[in-house]
Amino acid sequence: MQPPELHAPRVTPLDLFVAFTLITLISFGGVLFWMRRLIVERREWLTDQEFVEIVALANLLPGVNGINMAVMIGYRFSRWTGVAASLAGFLAAPCLMVTAIGVLHHRYGALPLVQDALIGMSAVAVGLLLSTAAKLAAVLQRSALPWLFVALAFLGVGVMRFPLLVVLAVLAPLAIAAAWKGKL
């Protein structure tokens, strides 16, 4: 990842709070798509490459990927106050909304209309996930080796159903070694 000095837009804690609140208010289907759209495409706080690097690191760390990313992005631009602002923006509105939705689902979740709506929303979520994956994959180099790691990770977790940590423990050191040798 580039040092912040080389790509350093002025981002305040208030900017971070507003951005992460907005991301979570519109991020039905997952935050990654909307986070990338707002932070990379609209606000241009990060480049595609920087965003992909943060996504990769967030996926390797324990915890929720979106929270990991909010912490890293908040710290990058405003250190500890940025972390606090990003986390507050990321967590406040969803906590209130999920509580309200949980109460409504408990009361009305068995209705056929609600079940049909949930099935439709799940199809949209898959579409958003595939769209984000395609945009993130565009950053990968045009050589075969990065795509080999993509395929191996997909086969290991998605097809063979190996535990994610096992797949990471095997593939991550190999991918890092390949990148250091300049093959990725």
For residues 48 and 40, the answer to whether their CB atoms sit within 8 Å is yes
Determine the Cα–Cα distance for residues 32 and 129; give it in Å rounded to an integer.
8
Question: Tens of pLDDT along 46-94?
Answer: 999 999 999 999 988 988 999 999 999 999 999 999 999 999 999 999 8
Tell if the pTM clears 0.85, that is, is over it. Answer: no
Determine the Cα–Cα distance for residues 48 and 136; give it in Å rounded to an integer.
8
Question: Tens of pLDDT along 109-140?
Answer: 999 999 999 888 888 878 888 888 888 788 77
Determine the Cα–Cα distance for residues 26 and 34; give it in Å rounded to an integer.
7
For residues 81 and 87, the answer to whether their CB atoms sit within 8 Å is no
Q: Is residue 181 classed as helix, strand or coil in its secondary structure?
A: coil
Query: Tokens 């109460």 map to which residue?
Result: 103
